[in-house]
Structure 1
């Protein structure tokens, strides 16, 4: 029993001793892993306290004015040698200097102990001192062009060079004002020699679409991560054999030219735009009232789906047009983003003869030749047989012409009446047949339209039974804005806001509040116009502000995300 109390007292004494040891910091040391360093190349600052100190004892914020401060890690060690208890706390921070020059890392203080300041020499990347072969990591970036037109995409290719095996890390995308930036394609990985040293290269491509003309700078992509160290670097290497690294690509300048003054119509800058059409079924002749399906596919290289224009077709009154559906898609081929829009509809001939449908023209701006171009389809010609649907009702009550008879003998009333009654059924037989044909044609068209409505309602019901995700709601909102559909845009926008903010959203004003955009005149104006379009009379002009609404919501959401925190891309390698 006494032995148990003895051990308990020892444990209590050790706990109190460790708790009060914080007041015994007598030495602080600061070291860097290299000096001089290259601009936008990372180096490691290590600050060591000869005691167990809390994380708040080291505040690297004072370095923000001269350096980009990366991730800070902390490690602790306790040892007991000949009854002497020793404790050490080590803080490791990754720093990057943006421009060449001489900088000073200030002294760190705690409990009267101070570290010595460190003078850092930062050299330019193209200097002789920068051409050394011991660089652990650096980032290189290139552009496919430095001068573009408004909304013409720029391909930004970033390459991360690592001389050690990668443990984990994030590649943060470049930044540019008034531009949309998105990754295209998949990451590439290969090896390359640089200044006599072999590096592992990780390559990623971004597409930057400027939304405003003028002179702009692209802030370089940034890498923050850890690599496996090649040897034992410190007394803490037994706990971790990784080394933090950071690197930033150089800033690039671009010129964005405005839309040419003589341009008319929808602005679509691209390297190549094509439009094709297919007809189903393909026959020599068609019948009056027989549905003919037509599919149009618009393809543009290097643009986003929301940049594709609406396709207008002006067909004659001899056919009726029944729209089916419209879809947009995008994919990457050979490192280039490609956008596609597919439109399907049916036409029903109303009269016999030859029907000609004019070709469809889509103007676009060729970024290679910097001239106006037009993508066109061939005109369609159909041979239609049958009875015109507009004349079938006129044949329902045909006029009967008088039939003269030769007078060979004296006319008798009874035979004349008998012959008249024999001829009358034959005339009415043709009338009944004409009515039957018109009825069958009408039933066929109505049955076809009914099946399409049933399929549409079935698809809508199926979608309603499964709650949409935030991404699905955003894509639905994007497509509704591209088609200028106010009702669908309102519903999908409220669903997206509900999923993103996990709050009940009933009105468009609730969406503006969640986006912190009640004082944003642009988004407030677009939401007011959308609200007006929902309750406007049918005689008013159709809502055409879908693209402006989408851009306003996107900008407000990006500004809200920027105020909350920077959002890097998913890690190149998952962190366990």
Structure 2
């Protein structure tokens, strides 16, 4: 029984291996692709041209049967080549047959499909003329280069964009090729992405295919003609070996397209955004799991990332998202990042929000009005806001812990302190060391109280200088110190106080004031964004020097003299 069982196991193992091998062989046969190409589609009677049949596999060289060519063509002995190559660890094999053909009579004939294993080539149509000269003339007139423009829709709204795809087929060797974009009155064409290039075989001819995409945006309503893209270059004619070559200019233009551009509805309110699809998403860092109310701490940054995706809209038409946050938080926006994907223009905006005070803080929702070009109705897309329950951060700054207080009353009421009671010695009542202990405790209490008062004053000054305001009349020094310590929050705080003191000077140069605000915003962005970077204060220091060089007029001096706290 054991031998019989063992024999069955061996037999089943061999059967399993055979099934795997047969599956691999059948998979390779199914994966193999056969292809037939010719050097010319238009030939003269008895003019020799070339037929190439190839299959991307290693097959028997006798697999190609050329006898179906006999009625209409004469052919010679095929030249056979095969090879194996390995690219990036992938092995590829190829077998090809090259044979010379000549048509025996005038007319239109078909080179039949060839069966090679499980693969089959496509048939090829050949036009045969009376002479080789006629075939050359017909070949020259035949379009070996073509261009077409494809648009995804013909009816749009003002401000809406369409995708226009240019597809060029090149079947000749070319030089100095160029492509002019489409154009039209009231239309703006912008190239999107990079050109794509591949190869195709059509009716036995191999072509290089170049694809380029444009975004066409309508700037005014009406019926507008979109003139097709134009392809220009020089085709190289002549022998590939010795002999002269001839270059012939070629200009091909895609067909024109008629567009109907609708006007903005008269009753529409707000920013005009015509699109078939608008998506607005947001994420929070830290992650709050879609809670409407979360806990936060003073000085702890929160990043709000907004992603806006709009279809058929140019980047220049994307809305500028601007929010007004309460004064209890500091906020700033990073520069938006733009990208393109599948007809969508995508804008990503990061906002950093830093709570300044404890309590409830409401961060507003965001709502965008837009016009749905499919339903032809106004829509609103929004994301919810967030309520912060802000508490103080115990680790925000070091605090001085005062020593524990020991009061005389506490010492007196201690039941275990027997030595504190008067003692009777030698018939005379003595007070013991209680008066001395009382004096010592009183002295310690006064020292402790003094230290506590000083500690509280020091802590108050530290907190005041670090977050809120400063009593230092020379705010310049405090600002410079904050820059030296590279403390972004202090820089922003002292800058606001410094700006109030310098408002008379800054009023004479609003442009300089705006540059200062931008410089501080860049410092905050470098410090509190998710990708934190080292910030450089050189530009900020240069702007401060420019303000110091500004001079106020006499009228400004007199107007501000009454407000001088000195």
TM-score by length of 2: 0.45
Structure with larger Rg = 2
Higher relative contact order (CA 8 A, sep 6+): 1
> Structure 1-normalised TM-score?
0.44
